[in-house]
Structure 1
């Protein structure tokens, strides 16, 4: 397959005939000829790529991804069993992993189905979630470009703006398709990047990719499969039984996207790099700086929250799986470290997020999160550790990852933690707020005199 995305092609060096006028003779007519050529090619590209409503052409993304994966993307491996699809091996590994996880966490099993996916299956099954992740960013970038145009340019462009929007959707679709192809050939499970990309309650492993991952590890493939199945099952438990988590992750991406702004000077620079007769040059110029917007303080805050939340998810899974399989699989420690290094060297997750969302996962945060969850579990027990997921206000913050020991100490001793009911604490806090509000409304003088005591009480409550 060529290096050009679907619908694009290299410029034709012989497109000018011998009888065509030189540059001076062409003058203004050349601009119209080039514009006509560009519009003709655009029409051909749009008709070839199919129609797709929205800021991203997901039909094109899927087509590019599946074409790049080719037949290898549909390959199935049975891990030495008689089942060529690998389903039996995956189900057996998932069943064993679930039994072991029952002893390491209070969260029950979250998956009702365990399946083996090919790389092509992964692309098709996860595309709806990628749409939720990419739409906010693509929508904002597209509108930012339109907003950056001068009014006279908007009026002159007229109906061409809709065609530009379609082409922008194709460019995003092309980028997404290439990223999905890369990810589909490398990911090991449906949650390999820390997000619930696949259908709910479905534990999915990619046997062909796991087989490639196993090469050179000097560990039995069946052992690696069980370890990977345990990680997938732990992710599924968390996303199934922490109902606010999935939406919080997606909402944070939208918060980041809302603040995207495009540098108008960058637009002018990109415009100088575009050859109207060569659509491939348009994609190359756009991809060189389009998804590198200036970050505001609000965006940086949203990125920090997203990075922290993803690190907490991965750190919790890391600790829970280590507790569940550590004494049962001889190579568990080595596999755990291998997966950590896989992230640290800039794996598919970091690259894809950096390209599509502008987010780079920081491996340092993952290790800090693992240390924090391990410390909390050792000091306060598995039950209290997992209860911290019961409400978003209870989970550690970025500052807590900087000092896990202080966070563990702040939670109190194990005896004090036994009396903590997270839901009851939320209700008591809400009740205090209502009571304080009513008291201040009826007796302003009393409210003023009690203000210091209330602050002290609230400080004590927070320390508890």
Structure 2
């Protein structure tokens, strides 16, 4: 890591945009060790096999017709920063030009904040299904951050191969959602564009953010459901240890998690999974899958808290 270079990149942020994305990428990389990506052919094959097994089991158990993304990458942390900086730039670059002419000091603050966030996430993300929102292509991508998977498996004292496969099941479950619901990407893109348009006009809409939160709660909850039920019967120890790790950490780690909204994301997992577990327990997995038939089937805020309301609406 080179902290001087990280700070220098932020200080030298330039251009007319609210954030200098080249500086974000350079600074985040300078402050983050890439990690080892010297995999043996056997280790590469293990990742490939995990993804195939997850695809086949989720297809069979969930009754979802979907294909894997053509891009499936085993990454180190700098690879992840490159991929996600491009996504953030694509999404946030939609903000109206009226916000672009900012003083240099404000641009540096924005750039530095984003670089710190990217560096923190790069050190903690295990896997990622990327729907490549607002991109010109139609394909999606699947990433595994190998150094983080290795490190966290050691920290949790769990079997590395089993932990890696569990992560693969979660990310492939997302591929099943987006592949089985072609409208989902367009729906999320539309919500993001509405938020950006509102912010560009100098306003703030809590309703737009709530709609994104509801959608992502359904996305994360259903993935957790498929992940657990398709994996095997012995996942409780993995979930318990990973949840405990997310709740622990030093003051800086906890502050970063709060600032980045990671506690909210954990709530999405828990609330969404509780909703779908209730639906499956009262009906079945096929009924839970109705949520992806069309966007009108997404649960409302009230239905997330009371799944019987959603079940009644689906039966009507």
If the length of structure 2 is used for normalisation, what is the TM-score? 0.81
Aligned with residue 28 of structure 2, among 56, 65, 83: 65
Structure 1's 236 and 105: CA in aligned 2 closer, same or farther, altered over 3 A? Answer: same
Instruction: For 2:172 and 2:255, locate their aligned partners in 1 and report how far apart those are by CA, in whole Å.
Output: 22
In the TM superposition, what whole-angstrom CA distance separates every residue of 1:47-95 from its partner, at most 9, and x where no partner exists? Answer: xx5x6564321111111111112xx3142154xxx339x4322112212
The 8 Å contact of residues 141 and 260 in structure 1, kept in 2 or not, is answered as no
> Are 1:177 and 2:177 counterparts?
no
Q: Is the 8 A contact 1:354 1:360 kept in 2?
A: no
Alignment match, 1:363: 266
Instruction: Give the 3 Å change call, closer, same or farther, for CA 5–57 of structure 1 in structure 2.
Output: same
How far, CA to CA, are the matches of 1:251 and 1:2 in structure 2?
40
* 1:372-392 Cα deviation digits (max 9, x unpaired): 212223444333322321211
| Structure 2 CA distance for partners of 1:56 and 1:248, relative to 1, 3 Å | farther
Aligned residues of 1:140 and 1:257 also touching (Cα < 8 A) = no
Partner of 2:62: 105
Determine helix, strand or coil for the equivalent of 1:6: helix
Query: In 2, distance between residues paired with 1:127 and 1:87?
Result: 25
Conservation of the 8 A alpha-carbon contact between 1:109 and 1:233: no
Alpha-carbon separation, structure 1, partners of 2:259 and 2:97: 16
How far off is 1:132 after superposition?
3.0
CA distance in 2, matches of 1:325, 1:248: 29
Displacement of 1:341 in angstroms is 5.0
Instruction: Note the C-alpha offset of 1:225.
Output: 0.6
Offset, 1:211: 1.0
Determine if the alignment matches structure 1 residue 382 to structure 2 residue 288: no
Partner of 2:156: 217
1:237 paired residue number: 176
Q: Does 1:247 align with 2:189?
A: no
Superposition pairs of residues 260-339 of structure 1, within 5 angstroms:
260=199, 296=204, 299-327=205-233, 330=234, 332-339=235-242
Cα separation, partners in 2 of 1:369 and 1:206, compared to 1, 3 Å: same
Q: Cα offset for 1:345?
A: 6.4
**1:343 positional shift:** 5.6
1:395 aligned to which of 298, 301, 305? 298
1:56 pairs, out of 12, 16, 19, with 19
Deviation at 1:101, TM superposition (A): 1.6
Whether 1:76 aligns to 2:37 is yes
Q: Deviations over 1:297-316 (max 9, x none)?
A: xx111121111111111100
Give the match's secondary structure for 1:219. Answer: coil
Structure 2 counterpart of 1:282: none
Out of 86, 90, 97, the residue aligned to residue 132 of structure 1 is 90
- For 1:306 and 1:114, locate their aligned partners in 2 and report how far apart those are by CA, in whole Å: 26
Compute the displacement of 1:245 (Å): 2.0
Check the 8 A contact 1:117/1:207 in 2, yes or no: yes
Structure 2, unpaired ranges of 5+: none
Aligned partners of 1:362 and 1:90: how far apart in 2? 26
Residue 227 of structure 1: how far off its partner (Å): 0.3
| Kept after mapping to 1: 8 A contact 2:220/2:268 | no
In the other structure, the counterpart of 2:308 is 405
- SS of equivalent residue, structure 2 residue 73: strand
Matched, 1:5 2:7: yes
For the aligned residue pairs, the C-alpha RMSD in angstroms reads 3.5
In 2, are the aligned partners of 1:315 and 1:373 still within 8 Å (CA)? yes
- Contact 1:190 1:196 (8 Å CA) reproduced: no
Aligned residues: 307
